[in-house]
Structure 1
């Protein structure tokens, strides 16, 4: 609409200039007129100046930023604690009995080779446990030993740590001194058994009336031609 109005104004001014008297043409001065942004001026040179307003500047804006859709997540929760262990405690094995020597004596040896009568396994107290000299050395089957008459009660048990065997009083020795014990080494009658007896003879501690469960190496101290080595 503004452009049509401006064109009309220009045409009207042109016609007015053409119909004016020639006398007036040289000195015609038409004041400037703002026709919607068109500046028209006439004079001796009838100059026309058009000035177009700058086009409106559209406000250009980018697309609206999307809403912040970042989801804040909580850190992972720790796993639940395991249920309490209600299982009964495991029974730990109790320590076994300890070797506790409570006496010391001279330990002598005898065998069937030097027994009375020679070559026999006869004992003074055959009704204690064994009917004759013997035994394996365990608590339930101790080996025969002898002492002086009335030195100990028949059936008394001892444990000798050096030999790791139990012994039981079932015999009497006539050549034993005070505190001497004579241990049965086996039913052998060869000369090797005499050497073994000499090798094993010693003064050593022993445990009187020992408990069951002490370490044991069962068997005769002399067997199959071999002497036990502590």
Structure 2
């Protein structure tokens, strides 16, 4: 159902990925750059955080569950995010949870950063935001934002 912020409100299963568990580990490389050359973003409408989504491989090509450039607003963390990366590795990513979803909900994986944080702290931060979240797909600007890298804030939730 459309909401007053121009998009579609839905529940998603949100997880996080970091500098330390990205592919390849210890990097901020992304597969489908739109705004950023590397995973990042502050979470504002103008600088949304990189988001990875599931995909299906067929004949060497990947079809993403959400098109690159699709924006989300995740209410609980007060961040805008943009699809710029793929979630799920290997020859059959469609067999993994990123594509199949979680209990009927789309699975999205937000970049939490962590390059300047301890790997254990960053992992703990990712667990803090994991779960079903309200999100707006293709939101308008103007929603409340808590800007900054998620890991730097300890993955603050509201």
CA contact (8 A) 1:158 1:209 kept: yes
Quickly say closer, same or farther: Cα 1:219–1:193, change in 2 above 3 A. same
Higher relative contact order (CA 8 A, sep 6+): 2
Residue 11 (structure 2) aligns with:
104
DSSP-derived class of the 1:166 partner = strand
In the alignment, which residue of structure 2 is the partner of 1:134? 40
Pick the aligned partner of 2:65 from 143, 148, 151: 151
1:43-192 equivalences under 5 Å are 98=5, 102-126=9-33, 128-149=34-55, 150-174=64-88, 175=96, 176=98, 177-178=100-101, 179-188=106-115, 189-192=118-121
Q: 1:212 is matched with which residue: 132, 141, 149? A: 141
CA distance in 2, matches of 1:197, 1:125: 22
- Corresponding residue SS for 1:162: helix
Partner Cα separation in structure 2 for residue 99 and residue 195 of structure 1: 33
Would you identify which runs of 4 or more consecutive aligned residues in structure 1 move more than 6 Å? none
CA contact (8 A) 1:121 1:187 kept: no
* Secondary structure of the corresponding residue to residue 16 of structure 2: strand
What is residue 228 of structure 1 aligned with on the other side? 156
Question: RMSD in angstroms over aligned alpha carbons?
Answer: 1.8
- For structure 1, the residue ranges without an aligned partner over 5 or more in a row are 1-96
Of the two, which has the highest radius of gyration?
1
Runs of 5+ in structure 2 lacking a partner? 56-63, 89-95
- Relative to the length of structure 2, the TM-score reads 0.77
Give 1:161 deviation, angstroms. 0.7
Contact 1:99 1:214 in 2 (8 A): no
1:199 Cα offset (Å) = 1.3
Q: Deviations over 1:169-220 (max 9, x none)?
A: 0000114133100011113352101011111101111000000111111001
Provide the C-alpha distance between the structure 2 equivalents of 1:116 and 1:137, rounded to a whole number of angstroms: 22
Alignment coverage as a number of residue pairs: 132
